[in-house]
Amino acid sequence: MERTLGLIKPDATAKMAHGPIMTAITEAGLKIVACKSMRLSAAEAAGFYAVHSERPFFGELVEYMTSGPIVAMVLEGDDAIQKWRDLMGPTDATKAGPETLRGRFGTSLQNNAVHGSDAPDTAAFEIGFLFAGRELEALSR
């Protein structure tokens, strides 16, 4: 059993896509073991994406991620990290297939509707950044 961190980004919550996205997650066989909506501060968004702080798109990424509410989720299942990345599709939503969430709900390289951890160490960091231990208990029994 593996856990990963999923985000439904502000462009997707703005179009009320969080319902269909969570349905697709469940239908793909992943368990949503924690879930909450929030609005990130600039400092929180910068901390979450600290790995990208030297990249040219960092400032715009922080602006985008703070432009509206997000939904944060902890997803659990066999091979959950890769399964969720496959369901999301490639980073650039304009190159994502219609069977992927980025293809369905994203519109550009930046505005790509969803986030997913890319490895076990980043999943652990991202889950710990956004969730307290007690929040990981309720739905997971």
Residue in 66, 67, 82, 110 binding ligand UDP, rule: CB under 6 A: 110
Cross-strand pairs, 77: 2
Query: Can residue 109 be called a binding residue for ligand UDP (CB under 6 A)?
Result: yes
Q: CA 97, CA 1: separation in Å to the nearest integer?
A: 28
Residue ranges with strand state E in 39-92: 70-77
Q: Least Å distance between CB 127 and Mg ion?
A: 14
Window 47 to 106, contacts with ligand UDP (CB under 6 A) = 52, 57, 61, 91
Total residues contacting ligand UDP by CB under 6 A comes to: 9
Residue nearest to Mg ion (CB): 118
Token output for 20 = 């269909």
Pick from ligand UDP, Mg ion, none: which does 91 bind, CB < 5 to 8 A by kind?
ligand UDP
Taking Cα atoms as reference points, which of 2, 1, 5 lies closest to residue 118? 5
User: Phi then psi for 140, rounded to 5 degrees?
Assistant: -95, 0
- Site residues for ligand UDP per CB under 6 A: 52, 57, 61, 91, 109-110, 112, 115, 118
